[in-house]
Amino acid sequence: MTTSNLELHFESLSVKDENSSNDGKRMHTKIMASSRVKLSENPNRSNLLKVAVENQVRTVAAPSKTSQLEGSSRKPMVILLSNKSGSSNAESQSTPIYKQPTAPKLFHLGMFEIGRPLGKGKFGRVYLVRERKSGYVCALKVLHLNEIRQGGVEMQVRREIEIQSNLRHPNVLRLHGHFHDSRRIFLILEFAGQGELYKHLQRETRFPEWKASQYIAQMTSALKHLHKKHVMHRDIKPENILLGIHGEIKISDFGWSVHAPGNRRKTQCGTMDYLPPEIVKREWYTEKVDLWALGVLMYELLTGQAPFEDSPPVTYSRIVRCDMTIPKFVSREARDLIKRLLVVDPEKRMPLEDVEKHPWILKHCLKGERVSKRESYLAIKSSKNEQP
């Protein structure tokens, strides 16, 4: 075997990553060995084998999962192949396989230019900010620790950070990172340029069916992503839905969300008008509580009010009986989808995969079409019709 063939053979050596999922343990990582060893003019088999054996694989510590909230979930590793052979046929210098990574970026308040306030909640305030170096515009949610402790919502804040930082979907509000000081917690969030869906609904009273169908289609896609990650949102409502710069849906506020691989919970939580029968009756429930909330949301977007809205005792009574009246101006297709989602038995509610294929969704939603694009198209069409 020639020298060039042997070098190519050594370059192709690779072993699978044996990373363990347990934090704190060590892992043995074997990487592709790129041997740049200078051999003599007449190499023999023993010298070649000696060089191959002495390209050792170092042991490196596995990165902690807590680094996911401060930057990337896994830091690049630098592993050196050292050649300790005293032979004049090999170079004694170590060659880095990967470029030395820079230290993870630490966020602090001085990195941002603070702009106007975007909103205020019970425990937090949101501001429009811009990162000074890159000019990137985002939203900064400020949570005061004393208010969080007084409200006893430490677990909710922790869940919100852990869950939202691991979700990646165009219709889910992105959490870019977080940091804190002695008095506050700061969440760096994606900026949703058009604000709360609830304010748009209040201004328009109710949405036309083409617009409501696109919102429901996007919500369905986002909920599929959540449920695939074993996440129940448990607090779907217009106040917790934002609109992006192009009018696209952005699910936000994951304070009541839960990661439930076992898919069964019994915690009583959520907003009264959106509670499903199984939560009202204090029974065990699954991710299908979000299907019920999707039906209530669809009803409210089309009519301007929740289907069971009344005094608390009457509302609970109507929810467990699914006692609702759908106005006559709602189309037959929309009426059918509402009835298939608002079903007392959670196992009989329409799955999200079937919601995407429902005739009402297919009728109004073109592939890749955005609400803003549809509005622009209708405005142009209307102006043309008005011309003499």
Active-site residues: which are they? 235
Please count the other Cβ atoms lying within 10 Å of the Cβ belonging to residue 17: 10
190 labelled ligand-binding: yes
16 labelled ligand-binding: no
Q: 213 and 341 in contact (C-beta within 8 Å)?
A: no
192 labelled ligand-binding: yes
Task: Report the candidate in 192, 199, 346 with the shortest Cα–Cα distance to residue 275.
Answer: 346
CB burial of 339-361 (b: ≥16 within 10 Å; e: otherwise) equals ebbbbeebeebbebeebeebebb
Please report the beta strands in the chain, taking only residues with DSSP state E, as ranges in sequence order. 26-28, 59-61, 80-81, 95-96, 112-120, 124-131, 137-144, 175-180, 184-189, 195-196, 231-232, 241-243, 249-251, 258-259
239 labelled ligand-binding: yes
- Angle of the 332-341 helix axis to the 209-228 helix axis, nearest 10: 30
Chain mean position to CA 99: 30
Distance set, CA 386 to CA 208, 214, 377, 381 (Å): 21, 27, 14, 9
253 labelled ligand-binding: yes
83 labelled ligand-binding: no
306 labelled ligand-binding: no
Task: Report the candidate in 286, 289, 307 with the shortest Cα–Cα distance to residue 298.
Answer: 307
| 164, two tokens | 């939202």
Length of the chain: 388
Task: Report the candidate in 157, 155, 173 with the shortest Cα–Cα distance to residue 123.
Answer: 157
Distance in angstroms (rounded) separating the CA atoms of residues 90 and 87: 6
**230 in the Ramachandran plot: left (φ > 0), alpha (ψ -120 to 50) or beta?**
left
336 labelled ligand-binding: no
Task: Report the candidate in 304, 243, 248, 255 with the shortest Cα–Cα distance to residue 121.
Answer: 255
In SS3 terms, 202-242 reads as: HHHCCCCHHHHHHHHHHHHHHHHHHHHCCEECCCCCHHHEE
Task: Report the candidate in 89, 239, 240, 93 with the shortest Cα–Cα distance to residue 164.
Answer: 240
Binding residues for ATP: 122, 141, 190-192, 239-240, 253
Binding residues: 122, 141, 190-192, 239-240, 253
